Structure 1
Amino acid sequence: MSYQDAREAFAAWGVDTELALTALAQIPISVHCWQGDDVRGFEKQQGTSGGGIQATGNHPGRARTPDELRADLEFAYSMIPGKHRLNLHAFYLDTQETPDRDEIEFRHFAPWVEWAGETGIKLDFNPTFFAHEKADDNLTLAHPDAGIRDFWIEHGKRCREIAAKMGAAQGGEVVNNIWVPDGSKDNPVDRMGARRRLEASLDAMFAPAHDRAHLLDAVESKLFGIGVEAMTVGSHEFYLGYAIRNNTALCLDMGHFHPTENVADKLSAVALSVQDILLHVSRPMRWDSDHVILLDDSIRAMAQELVFGGLLQRTRIGLDFFDATISRTAAWVIGVRNMQKALLEALLAPQERLKQAETARDYTTRLVLTEELKDLPYAAIWAEFCARQDRPTGALLVDSLARYQASVTDRG
């Protein structure tokens, strides 16, 4: 079907496809750097695993250096319509120095800032509270040892300063997201003590003031992880309360809740109390396994809540998955494009007509509309969106991804 025919089909429902395409082009998605190298980072010192984070698989082509990772990202962005961001973790520093986590400085990320300026890609940032000898027992900011806590508090302070300087360099906001793996493998007897330590550590970390135009702090919860099955100190309830009290953004990660929970449903609930929301869009399978996202019901529900709830201006959308069983660059491309497709479908919905039926308690009409809308030619609108920005679709996309993967296979 041609774009013009599809446009007329949507117009019959009172939907202007041009408005939807314009809106979609203005929604940036923060692409997560850690998909490109299986969450290993580029620290020169010896690192350790930990934090319940594990990428499985040994598909060839893993980025081994910052330059390889940037090349992979540039290719991925060239396959994705729109203008997007990069979410950088602290242990992806690019330097010949060997600073420990409490010693990192802005200069250790200068090549990333320079690259971002050259490519026009805006950066976001994250402290790295895992894969370190001082986090091996899955305790950092909530550790009973004050010396360990001080180490991680200093790391957090330095990351906030680095993020603020990145924001100043790029002339806008950098989201600095804090997630810590702290928890207990077996049933603790002093949950309150651990949570008081985490709260005090966060307060100390957030104490230095930075320009809000350059730095937006976010806090991220988790239900459980490997090694912290019994209790996670930074639970959803803990961080929801903390974000409200301290005016930080709240991060909702789709993989960090019970598998039966509808994370999209949480958006409107927390938006009444929290001004800024950060999304980590992922696909958990039985647990926080971070599979590449599909264009499935959970993603569609998330996009619809963002659009229908008027939350796009208050929500920063980022991705968070890592799969080493498939091409890592293809994973980025598939994930971002699926998030965009879900947003496009929501933008193309006759929102007011649906809401009017619901307000009138005409649930029959609401259901009929919901089902009939599934037959509309969304693919033709998506193809037009890609064509206008010279991005491939269909077989051309498949061939482009395959060619690039073949070019990096010899990395091992």
Structure 2
Amino acid sequence: MKKDAQIEANYQVAKEKYASVGVDTDKALNQLQNISLSLHCWQTDDVTGFENAGGSLTGGIQATGNYPGKARTIAEVRQDIEKVKSLLGGDHRLSLHAIYGDFGGQKVDRDQIEPKHFQSWIDWAKANSMKLDFNSSSFSHPKSGDQSLSHRDKGIRDFWIEHTIRSRRIADEMGKQQGDKACHNLWVHDGMKDVAVDRLLYRQNLKDSLDKIFANKFENVKDAVECKLFGTGLESFTVGSHEFYMGYAVQNGLMATLDLGHFHPTEEIYDKISSLLLYTDELLLHVSRPVRWDSDHVVILNESVTMLAQEIIRANALGRVNIGLDYFDASINRIGAYVVGARATQKAFLMAMLEPIAKLREYEANEQYFQRLALLEECKALPWADVFDYFCLKNNVAVGVDFISEIEAYEKEVTGKR
């Protein structure tokens, strides 16, 4: 109780300091409370899923590390996510890939998946006050190869078209039952290791496949398409580039998915937000941390994530941006990685909400650029961490470093025994 009192006292001091620059911390806390991150189920098991026991990743992606305690069953994935949820303030969503179906030990190929294979997930999510999002899975399958929806073979394309249509139907059922639209994200790894000659052909094939996939609209789905710079083993050519999907999304009224790791190493996605929002109603984000490139390291409170959150808040776009996490680090405690990344993302948005935006806009409009820069710099020293601690206290979750010992105990009692 003494610690709680200190947290509350620190918050009152912070509240006064922010008020002195025109910021209402209570309003910022209410905003943060309403941000629902879409947690990525694949951090628990290194993107293995439950389609094939012991299956390995193919198709331009790779999880590195072999830290003990990986989830091996649906029950263990759910148990781990419940633990993560208990360490995060606010209400959050869960993003599933198609390979995480509850197949009951039966072999169900990807062009045969149905809503019934995810009904137990829907029921579990309801019981845990979570909502679901969904992703089609084009990788790690005998028919993946180097291309899927862009393949020269019509039979291969048709297989993946059917899979993706069924994935959207599953997302629609999720959205219907939870009373809130489910985001469906489409990413395919399609590309080539070395020089490609018929680039236009592959992109025509991909566009034709997408046209067939999106021919039917689903009432309870928010559709998104995700670009990439290149995939591991497919370094020279990616069919679904940023330009390809940006054009397709704008032309067809879909969301573009922006992943922090899917662009050139010196390219920041925050600057794309305001441009895309002029032409699309909503965006989907995959918050990750690239090191050199798309290595999907755990999100930390670095400049990229901070600038991303700032741009969304400054553009008053919270209601138009769907925020998902996307990293899979198997080199450290997976639950710890999950929580560090999620809390870092929350911290970035809180810091952005605590900016004295009205005063900053006034300075900018008056061409008072020294004053704008000075105020931005001074804001970095304001006690945002005390506001975040109070947010955690109000949500009855671990404050500060206290979550470390909780995860250590969970490892000793649960994951360490797997």
Q: Normalization by structure 1: what TM-score?
A: 0.97
Letter in 2 for 1:201: S
Does the aligned pair in 1 maintain the 2:230–2:236 contact within 8 Å?
Answer: yes
Alpha-carbon deviation of 1:284? 0.4
Partner of 2:293, secondary structure, is: coil
Does the aligned pair in 1 maintain the 2:135–2:185 contact within 8 Å?
Answer: yes
Gaps of 5+ in 2: 1-8
Name the counterpart of 2:42.
Answer: 34
Match of 1:148 among 149, 156, 163: 156
Name the counterpart of 1:110.
Answer: 119
Letter in 2 for 1:373: C
Structure 2 distance, partners of 1:339, 1:395, is 16
Name the counterpart of 1:77.
Answer: 85
Pairwise CA RMSD: 1.1
Letter in 1 for 2:272: K
Match of 1:98 among 88, 101, 107: 107
Is 1-10 or 26-35 further displaced after alignment?
1-10
Does the aligned pair in 2 maintain the 1:103–1:155 contact within 8 Å?
Answer: yes
Match of 1:18 among 16, 26, 29: 26
Structure 2 distance, partners of 1:44, 1:181, is 20
Name the counterpart of 2:5.
Answer: none
Is 398-407 or 170-179 further displaced after alignment?
398-407
Structure 2 distance, partners of 1:184, 1:283, is 24
Name the counterpart of 1:52.
Answer: 60
Name the counterpart of 2:392.
Answer: 386
Partner of 1:394, secondary structure, is: coil
Q: Deviations over 1:164-190 (max 9, x none)?
A: 011101011100000000011111111
Partner of 1:250, secondary structure, is: strand
Name the counterpart of 2:364.
Answer: 358
Name the counterpart of 1:134.
Answer: 143
Does the aligned pair in 2 maintain the 1:60–1:411 contact within 8 Å?
Answer: no
1:210 aligns with 2:218: yes
Does the aligned pair in 1 maintain the 2:62–2:232 contact within 8 Å?
Answer: no
1:273 aligns with 2:279: yes
Alpha-carbon deviation of 1:222? 0.3
Alpha-carbon deviation of 1:108? 0.7
Structure 2 distance, partners of 1:10, 1:241, is 42
Partner of 2:66, secondary structure, is: coil
Structure 2 distance, partners of 1:220, 1:3, is 40
Q: Deviations over 1:318-350 (max 9, x none)?
A: 000010011111111111111110100110110
Alpha-carbon deviation of 1:111? 1.0
Name the counterpart of 2:307.
Answer: 301
Structure 1 distance, partners of 2:252, 2:352, is 32
Partner of 2:183, secondary structure, is: strand
Structure 1 distance, partners of 2:371, 2:255, is 37
Match of 2:76 among 48, 68, 86: 68
Give runs of aligned pairs for residues 220-369 of structure 1, distance below 5 A: 220-369=226-375
1:43 aligns with 2:61: no
Name the counterpart of 1:177.
Answer: 185
Q: Deviations over 1:351-375 (max 9, x none)?
A: 0111111122211111111111111
Letter in 2 for 1:3: Y
Name the counterpart of 2:3.
Answer: none
Identity %: 49
Gaps of 5+ in 1: none
Letter in 1 for 2:390: E
Structure 1 distance, partners of 2:138, 2:417, is 28
Name the counterpart of 1:189.
Answer: 197
- Judged with a 3 Å threshold, the aligned counterparts in structure 2 of structure 1 residues 329 and 45 are, in CA distance, closer, same or farther, namely closer
Alpha-carbon deviation of 1:48? 4.6
1:3 aligns with 2:8: no
Partner of 2:244, secondary structure, is: helix
Letter in 1 for 2:101: L
Does the aligned pair in 2 maintain the 1:195–1:234 contact within 8 Å?
Answer: yes
Partner of 1:124, secondary structure, is: strand
Does the aligned pair in 2 maintain the 1:221–1:235 contact within 8 Å?
Answer: yes
Letter in 1 for 2:378: E
Partner of 1:50, secondary structure, is: coil
Partner of 2:17, secondary structure, is: helix
Letter in 2 for 1:21: L
Q: Normalization by structure 2: what TM-score?
A: 0.96
Name the counterpart of 2:129.
Answer: 120
Alpha-carbon deviation of 1:47? 4.2
Partner of 2:63, secondary structure, is: coil
Does the aligned pair in 2 maintain the 1:50–1:138 contact within 8 Å?
Answer: no
Q: Deviations over 1:219-270 (max 9, x none)?
A: 0000111121111000000000000111011100000000100111110111
Alpha-carbon deviation of 1:274? 1.3
Match of 1:403 among 397, 401, 409: 409
Q: How many residues align?
A: 409
